[in-house]
Structure 1
Amino acid sequence: MTAVREIILKFSCEDQPGIVANVAALFAAQGFNIRESQQFEDVQTQRFFMRTVLDATDQQLTLEQIHGAFYPVAKRYGMDWELVDADVRPKVLVAVSQWGHCLHNLLNAWKQGSLPVDIVGVVSNHEVQRDLVDWYQLPFHFLPVTKANKAEQEAQILALMEQASADCLVLARYMQILSNDLCDKLAGRAINIHHSFLPGFKGAKPYHQAFERGVKLIGASAHYVTADLDEGPIIEQAVERVTHVNTPEELTEIGRDIESVVLNRALRWHAEHRVLLNGNKTVVFSR
């Protein structure tokens, strides 16, 4: 196995004395230098969260060897933990329906190299975005879905992910509700963009609902997908100020811009292993 140059460690556990000291001492002994470290204590749950980026100095160790060395510390503190090679980019399958603003933003950022993922393909229940995906020279998988074939269609999505070794499914305005079974199988590995500042204005035509209420702020929310519709742990949100002069159509256009930015940011943080689950919430160690 290849020796790693840079690793990312993230974990959570019950808050207790000595955690940071023991983690730092172990990696110092393994020949690593801490380049970046962030930590947080949830005083409500007394749970401790930490993300650390470490550079190898003299030692040439594989990821498996580092896993083995860290395991006793992780077991001692009862950690939920992940240790990854920072040079490995997560592979992502994107799902989209008809609106392509979020998809275009993701593909453009990926093509430019500013989004640290490898997009392995796009799946859609419509043909509308095929030309865009073809332009980016990515596989386009047309998988129409009905009530009768929903289970079969979702099995095809899972099969595509397995074939491409995809780590994450991104719902870039994929206007289908995933089954509870698929949500469970992709727990922590599926990110959705919701065209509203959750919680609020759920369901159809949220911008029209916002217009009827005369809102002064509209927004978007990126969250992990769960069986509870639009109630998964929120990764990122943003808002834009509007006024009474904006029509529903103008609110929609403003909202699409926000959606694109929020989804891009959420996927970036997920790919950089900056997001830790905290029950139905997240701890996000953003820059």
Structure 2
Amino acid sequence: MLTINGRGVRLCDGVTRRDALKIGALGLGGLSLPDLLRAEQRAGIKGSHKAVIMIYMPGAPPHQDMYDLKMEAPSGIRGPFQPIDTAVPGIQICEHMPMLAKVMDKCIPLRSVHGSPNGFHDSFICYTGHNWAKQPGGLVVPRRPAGAGDWPSMGAVVSRLQGSANVGVPPFIGLSPNTGYPPYGSTGYPGFLGISHGAFRPSDRHVPTNRLGVPLPGGRANMKLNGVTLDRFGNRKQLLTSLDAFRRSHSGDSSLAGLDDLNRQALDILTSSRLADALDLSKEDPAVRERYGKGSP
């Protein structure tokens, strides 16, 4: 049986949320997760290979100014803005988001957001679903660096369970920068799943820019072979494999685990243009770029 752990919150009818989940599972005939997967296989149901884009804004406006204006609350609690109707009857959002209101039937606002009980802003719980101070290895001090045995981010979990849908495209790509504050940390940290499931981060450190700092075309050339023939590239791949094997045989460093997968991902990226093309903003409609703002992905 697939078990969902959580705090036993009792509902108004006396049934806890955990009990409700158990009742729902029994309603499926007590099917276990493997049973459900086998049933899908027999029915010919295949994965949709949809991509998920997570946009996390540590400095975004508060919830009561966007999706839950709490108009019935005292003036010191509710936001200063007025609500507007949306495409979904009964759901209102902030007056400054009229375009989002038109497509609310394609959105799901979550109003059960809560902060960290540690007394500091803890974005880690939004990346992983777990509290920063309660790692698998036990309690940690709030400001210590993330470790290899810590909780993995959601993207790393998807990478481990689903893998990549296309050769040459990593299953988990992270475009946000790392922060210096550990509870925010990295949105792409793999934790105990290993470095091979960390977010692939296209580096823009050496991208040529104009005098205004806007990236110029060709900034992602490091993801292409750039004149290197496939035969020569194959020789480099063979040399890299030999060097890695030698290094492992003469080192007990556990950080080397997962390098094979990392090398495979890197080689797939170099021999396929899928990722480089997907991140090439010069191919995007200029009107779309203007709408989102000029910048690097």
Instruction: Compute the TM-score of the two structures, normalised by the length of structure 2.
Output: 0.22
Structure having greater relative contact order (Cα 8 Å, sep ≥ 6)? 1
Q: TM-score, normalised by structure 1?
A: 0.23
Greater strand content: 1
- Of structures 1 and 2, the larger Rg is shown by 2
